[in-house]
Structure 1
Amino acid sequence: MTFHRTFTRRVLASLALSTAGAALLPLAAAAEQWPAKPIRLIVPYSAGGGADNAARILAQRLGAALRTQVVVDNRPGASGIIGAQAVAKADPDGYTVLYDASTFALNPLLRKMPFDAATDLVPVSLALTVPNVLVVPPNSPDADFKAFVARARAQPGKVSFASYGAGSPAHLASELLNREARTGGLHVPYKGGAPAIADVMGGHVDAYFANAGSALGYLQSGQLRALAVTSTRRMAALPQVPTIAESGIPNFEVLEWNGFFVPKGTPRPIVERLSAEVQAAVRDPQTRARLVALGADPVGGSPAEFATFIAGESRSWAQLIKANKIVAE
């Protein structure tokens, strides 16, 4: 009786292992053949924006390297959640990829999420970072960053900061400056970056932490004036503009970022291959030059490095969001 029970258990265990191995075979084969068809790169923001422009540059380079089409699919809405959810629920076969931005780390801190960003999506590679630029109207009374801070300190609640929504990187940058410089600026949220910039240019709002890529054209045309950048080193595209850190607020740094993700369960060889190709893309001189022209700093990096970066972003902003009782609109 004991012999039969033992024999039966061994047979069942062997069958279970065989079944599990058989189930893994199609995934392994698919990973070896990847990519065998076009890849859909979902950008959860509108066409023509900073993330979309960078995604299209990288999609072109990745398509050439992978010898397939990488098709950008814009899915804007709900601060990037709609597009990210579409990827989280997609088949984990390497043919649906997410190109997301800083709001990926911020959304779980501000909103109830329809998926778990920490487990349902796998970080592939950090593509680039983009500093913010503190911009003011051309006729602003503040000659430089120090004058702006002095005025904001002298008139608490009177100097206004535009943003493209509560909890947005532009909003958080202004709250961080309020904390570090004791400025007491007033937050004025808008429904998008375009109306925010328009009101700053018109002198209706005092300042705005603009994404560098979206601000460059207005700065070059003289419609806006830059006081400082939020990176720890000066931007190549704006070498004459000082950093906030060198202007009297040590260690001040705010960077928006873009990166690649795939659905949970995507075979590891595909994740590693895609990560390697992203890293090669941002090292490519032509691709790099096109990204720098957008105000970006190409980065690259492994899946583990990107995961660590996101965790750090979440921890840093969680403290500020909690202290200032910031909630999404």
Structure 2
Amino acid sequence: MDRRTWLLAAASIGSTARATAPGLRLIVAYPPGGLSDDAARRLAQALEPRFGAPVLVEHRPGAAGLVALDTLARARPDGHTLCYSAITPLFLQPREVSPVIAVLETPALLVATPAFTGRSLADVVAQARAAPGHLRWATSGVGTTGHRVLARVQASAGITLTHVPYAGGGHQVNDALAGQFELLLTNAGPLQRAHVATGRLRPLAVGSPRRLAMLPGVPTFAEAGFPDANLASVFGVFAPAGTPRDVVARLNAAFGEALMSPDLRRHFESAGSTVLGGSPAAFAARIQAEAGQVQGPLSLD
């Protein structure tokens, strides 16, 4: 979408509902410093020249993404306020939103911190059986993909692990590097790849149909004996419910063009993620399909 096309689109958006501020507000459901922050900022940089207007990235972490979605729900459905989030918050407490575009599918990645003495997922199981509740497993929050993986590993192995929920972002990675807990279920991304490369975090398993090219020696959860825990996170962009379809279509086209950037694709794909894209209808269908697969034990502690 070139500048002229965006200006025409903006005029159409404004005729539907007057914007409260120029440009675009992109709410991020997680704190700064993580994969979502990186993705949102790279998208914002790619979109600004296309829109000919600023794209403000605003972090609203909390409640596994529900705080951001609630903030989005209060915004005018005029195409000027959007939200970047995983789809998992919609499974916790359904929210009325307008899917715009799927952005990334990112494998779950279980890493050991300096506090863990083991070298494999089998070692996690052995130590948890020897000392129930002693091992601490950090995630991005209650009900997230990381929490679902934890619940499925516990149920399958018959072990007890202590859940340490964060709000996502760089804080949990910093605490992992400091050994504040033994295990971190995060998403494969550039930051995680860098810490794995230096040996500060040790990868134990990935949630992927096949091993990641960047971690060829790391088994999938299925290979490690936990096929039900072989999960990935899907992230995308949402608009408020009631946003006109033509506005959603224009936003989808702009984001879709940004996702075609070779540099952006290379950045995320080299770290194990898959750049998605596609239509709003395809994204909505993906959410419905994933919602039907959310099952199994999950203690909302």
Please identify, of 91-100 and 63-72, the stretch whose mean Cα deviation from structure 2 is larger.
Answer: 63-72
Matched residue type, 1:186: L
Preserved CA contact (<8 Å) 1:152 1:158: yes
Deviation at 1:126, TM superposition (A): 0.8
Deviation at 1:55, TM superposition (A): 0.5
Q: 2:117 and 2:30 mapped to 1: Cα distance? A: 35
Aligned to 1:80: 65
Aligned to 1:267: 244
Deviation at 1:293, TM superposition (A): 4.9
Aligned to 1:129: 105
Q: Which residue among 152, 156, 172 is the counterpart of 1:176?
A: 152
Matched residue type, 1:224: L
Deviation at 1:43, TM superposition (A): 1.5
Q: 2:145 and 2:114 mapped to 1: Cα distance? A: 23
Residue by residue, what CA displacement relative to the aligned partner does 1:284-328 show, whole Å, maximum 9, x if unpaired? 2111122335553211121112112222333333x22xx44x225
| CA gap 1:137/1:262 in 2 versus in 1, 3 angstroms | closer
Preserved CA contact (<8 Å) 2:63 2:141: no
| CA gap 1:240/1:91 in 2 versus in 1, 3 angstroms | same
Preserved CA contact (<8 Å) 2:115 2:182: no
SS at the partner of 1:161?
Answer: strand
Preserved CA contact (<8 Å) 1:232 1:252: no
* Residue 186 in structure 1 maps to residue 198 in structure 2: no
Aligned to 1:255: 232
Structure with greater helix share of residues = 1
* Residue 40 in structure 1 maps to residue 22 in structure 2: no
Deviation at 1:197, TM superposition (A): 4.8
Preserved CA contact (<8 Å) 1:28 1:267: no
| CA gap 1:247/1:68 in 2 versus in 1, 3 angstroms | same
SS at the partner of 2:284?
Answer: helix
Q: Which residue among 211, 231, 237 is the counterpart of 2:187?
A: 211
Structure of higher CA gyration radius? 1
TM-score by length of 2: 0.80
Aligned to 2:286: 309
Q: 2:270 and 2:26 mapped to 1: Cα distance? A: 22
**Counterparts of 1:216-255 in structure 2 under 5 Å?**
216-250=193-227, 252-255=229-232
TM-score by length of 1: 0.74
Aligned to 2:258: 281
Alignment coverage as a number of residue pairs: 288
Q: 2:137 and 2:115 mapped to 1: Cα distance? A: 16
* RMSD value, Cα: 3.3
Deviation at 1:92, TM superposition (A): 1.5
* Residue 107 in structure 1 maps to residue 82 in structure 2: no
Q: Which residue among 138, 141, 163 is the counterpart of 1:162?
A: 138
Please identify, of 149-158 and 250-259, the stretch whose mean Cα deviation from structure 2 is larger.
Answer: 149-158
Deviation at 1:199, TM superposition (A): 5.9
| CA gap 1:251/1:176 in 2 versus in 1, 3 angstroms | closer
Deviation at 1:81, TM superposition (A): 2.7
Matched residue type, 1:59: A
Q: 2:132 and 2:89 mapped to 1: Cα distance? A: 32
Residue by residue, what CA displacement relative to the aligned partner does 1:152-201 show, whole Å, maximum 9, x if unpaired? 56766555433344333322211122234x24131232445566556655
Structure 1: runs of 5 or more not aligned: 1-26, 109-115
Q: 2:173 and 2:32 mapped to 1: Cα distance? A: 18
